[in-house]
Amino acid sequence: MVLEGGARESFGAALGQILRARGAAQAQIEEAEKSMTRAPVVVAVISSPVDDGRTPAWEQALSAGAVCYNLLLAANASGWAGVWLTEWMAYDAEAGALLGLRSGERIAGFVHLGTARAPTPERVRAAVPERVTRWTAP
Ligand SMILES: Cc1cc2nc3c(=O)[nH]c(=O)nc-3n(C[C@H](O)[C@H](O)[C@H](O)COP(=O)(O)O)c2cc1C
């Protein structure tokens, strides 16, 4: 589900309302209001598993994660930048209802897409070779 233009502000305002009704601090409310306007396009990736009798729900959930990651790869390959965030709104029933989530549907992530304002700062990366294990017969 794509959020762009004024829809981002509207969704953010509605998120702020949710928090206001719960007595949240003003700073938290304002953060929620601005949460969807960090980038010009936000893609809410929704996992919508179906029981077809053969595809495990787990694999369908993983596929939604793969969609998020592929969006990031595609954005980067095309010269855009992207960030995959969940934050509280991905796990909140009221926020989900705003997006029209049906029973069993879950938000895999909000992928924020746009132009990078600054290079992404480097961070300590996992030592992948140390984490790779090799199975040997017992
Ligand atoms: C499923 C998922 C959910 C994430 N949710 C958040 C989040 O809610 N808040 C946050 O600050 N970063 C979140 N991140 C992390 C950022 O997307 C990003 O990975 C992080 O800023 C580090 O970037 P780097 O891995 O390119 O160094 C999430 C990442 C993943 C994979």
Residue 87 lies in a domain: yes
Q: Encode pLDDT of 28-49 as tens digits.
A: 999 999 999 999 999 999 999 9
Q: Encode pLDDT of 57-93 as tens digits.
A: 999 999 999 999 999 999 999 999 999 999 999 999 9
Residue 93 lies in a domain: yes
pTM value is 0.93
The domain total for the chain is 1
Tell me the pLDDT band of 120, cut-offs 50, 70 and 90: confident
50 CA distance to ligand 1 middle (Å): 27
Residue 14 lies in a domain: yes
Residue 95 lies in a domain: yes
Domain that holds residue 96: 2-114
Pocket of ligand 1 contains residue 83 by CB under 6 Å: yes
C-alpha separations of 14 from 20, 32, 72, 97 in Å: 10, 9, 26, 11
Nearest CA owner, ligand 1 atom 14: 85
Residue 73 lies in a domain: yes
86 CA distance to ligand 1 middle (Å): 8
Residue 42 lies in a domain: yes
Pocket of ligand 1 contains residue 31 by CB under 6 Å: no
CATH of the domain at 23: 3.40.109.10
